[in-house]
Amino acid sequence: MSTAVSISSSATDHLQQAPRVVRVLDAARALSDAMCEVLVAHHVTDPAGAPFDFERTMVLVPGGRLAHAIERNLLARAAKAGVPLIAPTIVTPLMLAGRFVEPKLPVLSALGAKLSWRETLDAALEDSELAPRVAALFAAGDAIPAHARPRIASRLARLASETATSLLSAAEIAERLGNLAERGDVPAIVAERWTTLAELFARRSALLARAGACDRDELLRDAVLSGDVSAGAF
C-alpha cells in the first residue's frame, strides 16, 4: 500500500498561493524516516524556510507513537547538520478534530471508558459461545479469572483508542484481515481474533447507546470521516 504525505506552509498567504503537493513515501524506509525525508527535503526547497526551522509547519500523522519517532528523527538530523531544531507541530487526526467537534452526547472519561469495557467483558464472558473465544484472545485458557479482568479491560480500552486513531472500526479491520487471510497474506488466526474483537466492540457500542453516552475517540474518528465539524471546542 502506498503512503503519501501533503506538506504546506501554515502561513495564510503562502497557503492560498501554493498548490497541494502529494509525494509517495519510500516503502523501503521506516515510516517516520520516510516522512522526515520528505519533510526536510520540502523545507530546504522552500525559499521562506530556514534549515530545520519548522515553526510554521504542522505534520499530521496517523498515531501518537509515530509523532515521537518523527521528533527523535528530526532531532538526530538537526544534530548531525550542526543546527538547532525548531520542531513542527505534530498532531493526529483525533487531536486535530478535537478542536472542532461539538459532542452531542455525554462523553466518557478515561475511567468511564475502562469501566464500560469491564462491563462489556463481564457480559461477554457470560455468553457460552463467545466466552471461550474471548479467553483465547488473552491466552487465559478456558476462562478469565476475576482478578485479571480489570487489566484486560484496560488493554481493550487502549486498543479501542488506537483503533479509532487509525480512522477504522474494529469491524473494518476484521473484514480487511479476513480478505487478506483468504489470500494467504496473513495467518487465519489473526483474522479470527479480530472477528472476536469486532464482536466485543459491537457489544460495547450497544452498551453505550443504551446509556446515552459516547466514546471520545470514536466520536472524533466519526467526525473526521464524515466532515461533521463545527467551531466548538472539545
Q: Is residue 104 part of a domain?
A: no
Is pLDDT at 180 greater than 60 in this prediction?
A: yes
Q: 50 versus 137: which is more confidently predicted?
A: 137
Residue 124 pLDDT level (bands cut at 50, 70, 90): very high
* The pLDDT value given to residue 232: 46
Rg of the chain over all Cα atoms, to the nearest angstrom: 21
Shared-domain flag, residues 170 and 81: no
Cell of 81: 547538520
The DSSP element (H or E) to which 58 belongs, if any, is: strand 58-60
Question: pLDDT digits over 76-117, tens only?
Answer: 999 988 888 888 888 877 677 667 788 889 999 989 999 999
Residues 117 and 78 in one domain: no
Output the nine-digit C-alpha cell for 97. 478534530
Q: Are the C-beta atoms of 171 and 198 separated by less than 8 Å?
A: yes
The residue among 64, 91, 118 that closes a domain is 91
Residue-number span of the structural domain to which 177 is assigned: 110-226
Give residue 197's pLDDT: 97
Do residues 94 and 197 touch, judged by C-beta distance below 8 A? Answer: no
Closest by CA position to 54, among listed 71, 68, 69? 71
How far apart CA 142 and CA 122 sit, in angstroms, is: 15
Count structural domains, the chain: 2
Q: Which has the higher per-residue pLDDT, 180 or 95?
A: 180
Quickly state the pLDDT bin for 47 (edges 50, 70, 90).
low
